[in-house]
Amino acid sequence: MEFETATASKVKKPLITCFGCLLLLPSSAFADNGNLFNDSGWLLLLTAVSATLTLIFALLRYRSHIRSLKQLEQSQEQLSWALWGSGDGLWDWDISSGIVSRKGIPEMLGYSADEFKGTTAQLLQLMHPEDTDMVTREVERHLSGDSSHFEAEYRALSKDGTWRWILDKGKVVTRDAKGTPLRAAGTQTDITERKRAEEELRLAAEVIQSMNEVVVLTDPELNVRLVNHAFIRLMGLPEREVLNRPLHRFFSGRHGQPFYRDLMNKLKQEHYWRGELWQRTASEQEILTRLEIKQIEQFKNEHQYYVVIFSDITEQK
């Protein structure tokens, strides 16, 4: 009957696919010749399987995305803890808006999060006037692609009115298709104590260089590492012919090996030696010097250095 045939063609027959999905196909999709499907049935099945695979891959991508987000959150949290432990601050700069998200940086300067909004304009206001041009220039160099990263040391005004030295490092992490920078990230470190130590060393070096007495710094084996101007004047030797040479090379031949052996033994035992010693200048002139060698106190298990101070007493004899 035509009515019965038409009705039968609309009946849905269930099919469990190899993916475990239940599909309902019309009876017309099934062949009458003993094969499982006719042409339209295979097309419907292919469409259904494709849709199923698309759904599965979409779910897998979604799960992978969720895992990546969780891993990123964990990495950021671990980095934040690591930076907190090292005293560093973390910043993330949305270049188009000028908003900078910061962790640990306001506290570094004594400000609360409410007082320090995080804009680049506010940071420039807190920056020392002598440093702003240099920092701006270095940032622009990196944003334009002329440097692999940004790094600058500058002074920033803390809440208590003192200037703190900051080491700022960062790089662009996102650019658009045209290469325009969109986002940058990096760290800031308070290096005030390091800069103070460097300044103290600089002043100490100036004092040493201005002394009339000869000053020499040697390694544990008495190889010369540093000399002041007085040594160059007295010995008549350029610095390049002095550095990394053994100190005894400049001693006179009047002293034999037992003398040097006793000197080294006393240094190792008492970390100090004092006495008179003949030395030879570049012009082969022998001069008598009053000399002191003292070990520089350092942390344990580190290389020990010696400071040698002497003066010409030839005219006094």
Q: Judge whether 261 lies within some domain.
A: yes
Q: Are residues 168 and 250 in the same domain?
A: no
Q: Which domain holds residue 171?
A: 87-191
Residue in 2, 3, 27, 1 with CA at minimum distance from that of residue 13? 27
**CA-derived radius of gyration, the chain:** 39
Q: Are residues 91 and 167 in the same domain?
A: yes
Q: Judge whether 197 lies within some domain.
A: no
Q: Identify the pLDDT of residue 88.
A: 74
Phi, psi values for residue 245, rounded to 5°: -100, 150
Concatenated DSSP letters of 136-192: HHHHHHHHTTSSSSEEEEEEEE-TTS-EEEEEEEEEEEEE-TT--EEEEEEEEEE-H
Angstrom distance (rounded) from CA 31 to CA 44: 13
Question: Residues with Cβ < 8 Å from 158, sequence gap 6 or more?
Answer: 109, 110, 111, 164
Digit-by-digit pLDDT tens for the chain (317 residues) are 443 444 444 444 444 444 444 444 455 544 455 444 444 544 555 555 556 566 666 666 666 656 655 655 555 554 554 444 445 788 888 888 888 887 777 888 888 878 887 677 888 899 999 999 999 999 999 999 999 999 999 999 999 999 999 999 989 988 998 889 998 988 889 999 999 988 888 888 888 888 888 999 888 888 999 899 999 999 998 888 999 999 888 888 888 888 888 988 998 899 899 999 999 899 989 999 999 999 886 544 456 788 999 988 888 86
Q: Identify the pLDDT of residue 121.
A: 82
Q: Are residues 92 and 183 in the same domain?
A: yes
pTM: 0.56
Q: Identify the pLDDT of residue 135.
A: 95
Q: Judge whether 73 lies within some domain.
A: no
Number of domains composing the chain: 3
- Helix (H) / strand (E) element for 39: namely helix 39-86
Phi, psi values for residue 36, rounded to 5°: -70, -45
Q: Judge whether 115 lies within some domain.
A: yes
Written as six digits, the tokens of 104 are: 């640990």
267: domain CATH number is 3.30.450.20
Q: Are residues 187 and 215 in the same domain?
A: no
Q: Judge whether 79 lies within some domain.
A: no
Q: Are residues 181 and 226 in the same domain?
A: no
Written as six digits, the tokens of 156 are: 């920033």
